[in-house]
Each structure stands twice: as structure tokens, then as C-alpha cells.
Amino acid sequence: MVAVVWMWVDALLVVIILLLLGIILFSGGGIIRRRRLLSEIGSLRREVQRLQDANEALRGSVGVGTRERTESFGNLFEMVKDLEGLRCAIGGSSACQRVLSDKYGVKSGPELLERILAAQPGMDPIAKRKFADELLVGEIGRSILRSLEGGARLEKAASDAGVPVSVSRTHITILQTLGYLDTHLKLTDRGRKALA
């Protein structure tokens, strides 16, 4: 009988050991989970290293010519600000007109536009001209110029541009003031270049 009891004790101990091994291996703190987490940590570390390398490469490319690039962007922003001020001044803003007159010494018109563009000598002249044409003429202005070049009347030009006549008159005033159109609504050389 003692042998049977020891056999049951041994069997119970084996079951307890197996239960403890199961708990250790398969529960929340088990070896399998630990290996999976270590694998995830390794992949995340590799990803962090890849991102750090990419970050360093980007920092290195930004560092090249930073002063020159910052100065170039500063000049571009200054030109955009002045061109926007010119558009506002032509639209009737006395504050914009005063600021530009104080800065450049002339009133709104083609000469002021030329001075604004000449104030940025480090930029490509063709790019400056295209940029100014895009900002000051825009798509509506180009549509009006195309229609007027084809001999259309003001109402037809407004219709072609898809804007009311009053809006097209405002654009025509801007185009005339800046020398894209003459007083007879004929395109000037500057107006033809803006269409090109």
C-alpha cells in the first residue's frame, strides 16, 4: 500500500511540475512570450536605427549651403511680399502704396514692378519675371489677355474668363497699371510675354 501511495505522490508531483512548467512557458511571463517580445524589440531597434540614419542624412543635406539657401528664400519672400503689396496698392490700398513708395521711391506702375524685380539680383531674371507674371496676372488675367488679343470686347473677355464684368474690369485695371495692356486694351510686349 505504501508503494501505491508513493506512486500517487509521484504522479501528483509530476502533474504539479507539468502545471508549473505550463504556467512558466505559456502564461504572461513565459519564455515564448519573452522571445517574441525580444524579437519585436530587435526589429524596432533596427527601425529606429534606420530612421536615425535617414535623419542624419537629411540633416547633412540641409547643412550644405544653409546660409545661402536661407538668404535666397529670404529674398524670394521679400519679393513675394512686395509683389503682393503692389497688387494691393493697385487695388486701392493706401497703406501698401505708402510702404512701397517709401521703399522704392516710385508710385505703382511698371517702373515699381521693375524696381521690385531688380531688388533681387541673385535670382534668375527669367524666373523672377515668370513668378511676377503668375502672381500679378494669374489665370484670370491670362484669359482676359488672350480674349483681348483675339479682338474680343470686354464682356466677351469676362465671359471667357468665367468672371463677372466688374471683376474683369479690376483685372484690366491691374494689367493696364502694370503695363500688360495699353489704354486701348491692346497687349503690350510685356502682355505678350505673360501669355508665352
Proportion of the chain above pLDDT 70, given as a percent = 90
Please, which pLDDT band fits residue 151 given cuts at 50, 70 and 90?
Answer: confident
CA separation for the pair 185, 173 (Å, rounded): 10
Residues 181/148, Cβ–Cβ less than 8 Å: yes
121-132 mean pLDDT: 83
What pLDDT was estimated at residue 11? Answer: 87
Residues 71, 74, 76, 81: what is their CA dihedral angle, to the nearest 10 degrees?
-160
Domain map (residue ranges) of the chain: 2-63, 66-135, 137-195
Of residues 91 and 2, more confidently modeled: 91
Other Cβ atoms less than 10 A from the Cβ of 158: the count is 23
What pLDDT was estimated at residue 43? Answer: 92
Listed in sequence order, the residues at least 6 apart from 43 whose beta carbon sits closer than 8 Å to its beta carbon are: none
138-153 mean pLDDT: 87
What pLDDT was estimated at residue 62? Answer: 58
The pTM of this model reads 0.59
Residues 104/112, Cβ–Cβ less than 8 Å: yes
21-34 mean pLDDT: 70
Mean pLDDT computed over every residue of the chain: 83
CATH architecture of 137-195: Orthogonal Bundle (1.10)
Handedness of CA 119, 123, 125, 128 (dihedral sign): negative
114-135 mean pLDDT: 84
165-180 mean pLDDT: 86
Please, which pLDDT band fits residue 194 given cuts at 50, 70 and 90?
Answer: confident
* Whether the predicted pLDDT of 59 surpasses 80: no
* Whether the predicted pLDDT of 104 surpasses 70: yes
CA separation for the pair 90, 109 (Å, rounded): 8
CA separation for the pair 157, 120 (Å, rounded): 34
